[in-house]
């Protein structure tokens, strides 16, 4: 085998070059591995230092709870102070209306309407303190108003009926009325926004919707100031008619009716099948109507008994035939 100097030289150069490249690659690989280790340690450190979501929430919870508690406290104070202020304004408004000598029903209705409006404003103000936009509240109230208007047509008709009653004034507080829709009657004690309160003779409370009172016929017994008692009593055909009329007229004249321009009347109303029916008329103050009527009925019976005047009643005579 023959060796040439050029071949050895080339082999030596290749060997040195390979060693150099391997050395450089080893150095770069080591540096890259060290860099990766450093980055890994840095990420671990960041994960160690960075708190979790629950830890963040727990850290901010006291602050948020404190803020919410303060808002609730402020709202409670606003409601308390606003309620007192509304009551104060309501008393001033009532005093102003009463000083203007308005009807008690009008005063009660306007006072209730004012309170209702002020409480709505107070609720909107409290809601805005929670960060709710006033425009959003108005939009919500508008939408809710349309929905409620469709659902509560009867209630709105009662509100409109209350306004009509206050304008037309078919009755006032203290009047004795009777409505023909359901036959309720009594003394008007209060007129609210949606209903009117009646106190019956037996001390019951009837709450009549204003829509019913404004859409039906009713009788006001108090407004004229006086009422006429129409009284009838039957006497037998055997009794003294003229004496019975004198007794009945004396009873009427003895009643303290306080109506000077109306004279009492006694007359024969009807010749019935079993009695002569006498009629009597007398005007009395509206507030004393029932007491006068009851007293008249009792006195007629007592005085007729004293005079021997018979008041017939229905009876059946049975005759037995022998055989």
Query: Which residue's entry shows tokens 């009925």?
Result: 297
- Band (pLDDT 50/70/90 cuts) for residue 73 is confident
**DSSP annotation of 131:** T
DSSP H/E element including 280: strand 276-285
Weakest-pLDDT range from 63-77, 187-201, 251-265, 306-320: 63-77
Q: Under a CB-based contact definition with an 8 Å cutoff, are residues 255 and 266 in contact?
A: no
What's the whole-number average pLDDT of the chain? 77
What kind of fold does domain 156-220 have according to CATH? SH3 type barrels. (2.30.30)
Which residue did the predictor score with more confidence, 170 or 108? 170
What kind of fold does domain 63-151 have according to CATH? Helix Hairpins (1.10.287)
pLDDT on residue 38: 59
| 87-125: pLDDT as tens digits | 888 888 888 877 777 667 677 777 877 887 888 788 777
pLDDT on residue 125: 76
Q: Is the pLDDT of residue 135 over 90?
A: no
pLDDT on residue 25: 55
pLDDT on residue 33: 58
Domain ranges of the chain: 63-151, 156-220, 226-307
pLDDT on residue 1: 46
Average pLDDT over residues 37-55: 54
Average pLDDT over residues 257-266: 77
pLDDT on residue 297: 94
CA angle 113, 118, 120 (to 5 degrees): 100
- Band (pLDDT 50/70/90 cuts) for residue 49 is very low
Q: What share of the chain is helix, strand, coil (3-state, %, to 5)?
A: 60, 15, 25
Residues of the chain with pLDDT > 90, as a percent, come to 21
Average pLDDT over residues 277-295: 90
Weakest-pLDDT range from 66-70, 132-136, 146-150, 186-190: 146-150
Q: Is the pLDDT of residue 45 over 50?
A: no
Longest CA–CA separation in the chain, Å: 186
Q: Is the pLDDT of residue 40 over 50?
A: yes
Picking from 192, 186, 252, the residue whose alpha carbon sits closest to that of residue 222 is 186
What kind of architecture, by CATH, is found in domain 226-307?
2-Layer Sandwich (3.30)
Residues of the chain with pLDDT > 70, as a percent, come to 66
- Band (pLDDT 50/70/90 cuts) for residue 29 is low
């Amino acid at each position: 085998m023959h060796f040439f100097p050029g071949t050895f030289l080339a082999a030596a150069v290749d060997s040195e070059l390979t060693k150099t490249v391997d050395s450089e690659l080893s150095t770069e690989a080591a540096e890259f591995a060290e860099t990766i280790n450093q980055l890994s340690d840095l990420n671990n450190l960041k994960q160690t230092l960075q708190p979790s979501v629950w830890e963040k929430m727990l850290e901010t919870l006291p602050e948020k709870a404190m803020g919410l508690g303060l808002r609730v406290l402020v709202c409670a104070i606003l409601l308390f102070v606003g309620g007192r202020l509304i009551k104060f304004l309501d008393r001033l408004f009532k005093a102003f209306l009463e000083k203007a000598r308005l009807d008690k029903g009008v005063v009660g209705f306007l006072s209730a309407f004012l309170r209702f409006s002020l409480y709505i404003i107070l609720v909107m103000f409290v809601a805005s303190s929670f960060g709710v936009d006033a425009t959003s509240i108005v939009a919500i109230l508008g939408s809710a108003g349309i929905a409620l208007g469709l659902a509560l047509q009867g209630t709105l008709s009662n509100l409109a009926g209350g306004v009509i009653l206050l304008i037309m004034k078919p009755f006032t507080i203290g009047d004795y009325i009777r409505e023909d829709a359901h036959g309720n009657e009594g003394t008007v004690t209060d007129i609210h926004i949606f209903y009117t309160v009646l106190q019956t003779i037996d001390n019951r409370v009837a709450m009549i919707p204003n829509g019913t009172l404004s859409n039906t016929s009713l009788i006001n017994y108090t407004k004229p100031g006086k009422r006429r008692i129409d009284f009838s009593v039957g006497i037998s055909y055997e009794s003294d008619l003229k004496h019975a009329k004198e007794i009945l007229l004396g009873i009427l004249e003895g009643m303290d009716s306080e109506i000077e321009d109306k004279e009492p009347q006694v007359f024969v109303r009807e010749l019935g099948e079993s009695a002569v029916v006498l009629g009597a008329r007398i005007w009395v103050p509206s507030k004393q109507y029932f007491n006068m009527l009851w007293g008249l009925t009792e006195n007629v019976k007592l005085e007729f008994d004293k005079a021997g005047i018979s008041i017939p009643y229905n009876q059946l005579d049975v005759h037995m035939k022998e055989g």
